[in-house]
Amino acid sequence: MAGGGVIGVGGGGDGRKPYPGNLTPYVTITCIVAAMGGLIFGYDIGISGGVTTMTPFLQKFFRKVWEKKEADKSTNQYCQYDSQTLTMFTSSLYLAALLSSLVASTVTRRLGRKLSMLFGGLLFFAGALINGFAKAVWMLIVGRMLLGFGVGFANQSVPLYLSEMAPYKYRGALNIGFQLSITVGILIANVLNYFFAKIKGGWGWRLSLGGAMVPALIITVGSLVLPDTPNSMIERGQTEEARAKLKKIRGVDDVDEEFKDLVAASDASKLVHHPWTNLLQRKYRPHLTMAILIPFFQQLTGINVIMFYAPVLFNTIGFGDDASLMSAVITGIVNVGATLVSIYGVDKWGRRFLFLEGGVQMLICQAVVAACIGAKFGVSGNPGDLPKWYAITVVLFICIYVAGFAWSWGPLGWLVPSEIFPLEIRSAAQSVNVSVNMIFTFAVAQVFLSMLCHLKFGLFLFFAFFVVVMSIFVYYFLPETKGIPIEEMNQVWRSHWYWSRFVEEADYPNGGMEMSKGNHGPKNV
């Protein structure tokens, strides 16, 4: 069957009793606090695009860009921000996040998810401090790299933490709290940019960059008060404490079945001395494929083009500086609202439905935006006078596009990889997930302005092509993971039409062994 089957849990034909447990106030508050780790990532995404349109900031650090922008308003608008130094300021963070995510894997596995969050908060705070007081471009880039180290640690640990803490029936909604925090961070950054840009004296950009210290403090303090996950405690030998913690998290005393599976998963994990090498085994082929392709496709939706450079983009298509910042605020509000839709629907409608619906929505919007910009700007990049209805149309379809991303590839790009990995490879695989995400975030951020200059309105068609490819991939190769306990996740691969040839029952002594025989997909002969 195309796309793999949907497997039910608890009375759904797999023969397994679902783990007992409730969505307790304790675990809800814990997951909300942990999800705040997304604020640092979101704040940075939003703040960097706005700051790079502030005239005093450009005059001080990127004077050639400012001179090109001001020299002749009738010149090619596609190319006014084309500067490798400017894009290095934005994208250096993601190169640093890539490097730190590799170290964060070991910290997260051996020392726990909490400590990894703490490191993330402290590093991000240091980077924000340096950027707020920057006197030269090198200080900006050093600060950005420290911010990147912080993002790498946070993005490594927070999604894992949320997936391990949440009851399986609510795992999707609670995990998407991370993406909600990212969108809230983007929105706050856009609003602050709008007001800080109006400060007389031209030093508002310092407040924008230095303001990143606030979300850094939130995750730092949060990491000190949060409990560790039972999975992590068992992994580090704290077995009895983990049982007590599991009872508190689930709000019931009957946790024997889930606890037994967690211990079995930990025992299997301890047999793995080299999780990075272990990832290359045949039985982990589906996991490794998803860890690479999901973040790869997430970045090639084109969303970071919109969110990094929304003010630049709107400025380029003819809005004034104030109007472009306000348009970015509007897309930020849409982003937050649509993420709430995902929280509501992810455990109700399933991951695959949201992936596919969001893909269709983004594809249509990218085609319309490409047509609108192509009709007015052509290939010369000189639009002349832009009518108001045109600007409203472009903003409207960009907002619909952002909504499609925000309830599909945005949150699910973090949720699905964090819930599909067995404990023995979980930290290493999540590190691959974060690393691939950051590699392509870096690449897209670094080449976007040059691509805009050369591909012009065709840039949106470039990303639309990848939306088609990723939607086909989801339809055929991504199984539904809704309602599957995290330590039982391997059953989805054994029942999948394609991945079942790589995963045999003998590979997993626990994790869905009581599945009915009739629920298995075809085996490779």
User: Residue 489: inside a domain, yes or no?
Assistant: yes
> Structure tokens of 36?
């705040």
According to the model, what pLDDT value does residue 514 have? 36
Is the CB of residue 256 less than 8 Å from the CB of residue 248? no
Q: How far apart are CA 167 and CA 229, in angstroms?
A: 12
Total number of domains in the chain: 1
Query: 416: domain CATH number?
Result: 1.20.1250.20
- The amino acid at residue 236 is R
Q: How far apart are CA 283 and CA 524, in angstroms?
A: 13
User: Residue 525: inside a domain, yes or no?
Assistant: no
3-state secondary structure 254-283: CCHHHHHHHHHHHHHHHCCCCHHHHCCCHH
Residues 6 or more apart whose Cβ sits within 8 Å of residue 393 = 372
* Domain span holding position 67: 25-228+272-502
pLDDT by residue for the chain (525 residues), tens only, comes to: 344 433 333 333 343 457 777 778 888 888 888 888 888 888 887 787 778 778 788 888 777 767 766 665 555 555 655 566 677 777 777 788 888 877 887 787 778 788 888 989 999 999 999 998 988 888 888 898 899 899 888 888 888 888 888 887 888 888 888 889 988 998 898 888 888 888 888 888 899 999 989 989 988 988 888 888 888 888 778 888 888 888 888 888 877 888 888 888 777 767 666 777 778 888 889 999 998 999 999 989 988 666 655 555 666 656 666 766 677 778 889 989 999 999 899 989 999 999 999 999 999 998 888 887 777 665 555 555 666 777 778 788 888 999 999 999 988 998 898 888 887 787 788 888 888 888 888 787 777 667 777 777 778 888 999 999 999 999 999 999 888 887 788 888 988 999 998 887 545 544 443 333 333 333 333
Q: How far apart are CA 145 and CA 343, in angstroms?
A: 32
According to the model, what pLDDT value does residue 511 have? 43
Is the CB of residue 291 less than 8 Å from the CB of residue 60? no
> Structure tokens of 368?
């319309």
User: Residue 1: inside a domain, yes or no?
Assistant: no
User: Residue 3: inside a domain, yes or no?
Assistant: no
According to the model, what pLDDT value does residue 75 have? 53
User: Residue 432: inside a domain, yes or no?
Assistant: yes
Tally of residues, the chain: 525
Residues 6 or more apart whose Cβ sits within 8 Å of residue 391 = 317, 318, 319
**Which pTM was predicted?**
0.75
Q: How far apart are CA 65 and CA 59, in angstroms?
A: 8
Q: How far apart are CA 103 and CA 116, in angstroms?
A: 10
Is the CB of residue 461 less than 8 Å from the CB of residue 367? yes
Task: Give, for 84, the enclosing helix (H) or strand (E).
Answer: helix 84-111
Is the CB of residue 329 less than 8 Å from the CB of residue 190? yes
User: Residue 277: inside a domain, yes or no?
Assistant: yes
Residue from 65, 84, 68 nearest 76 by CA: 68
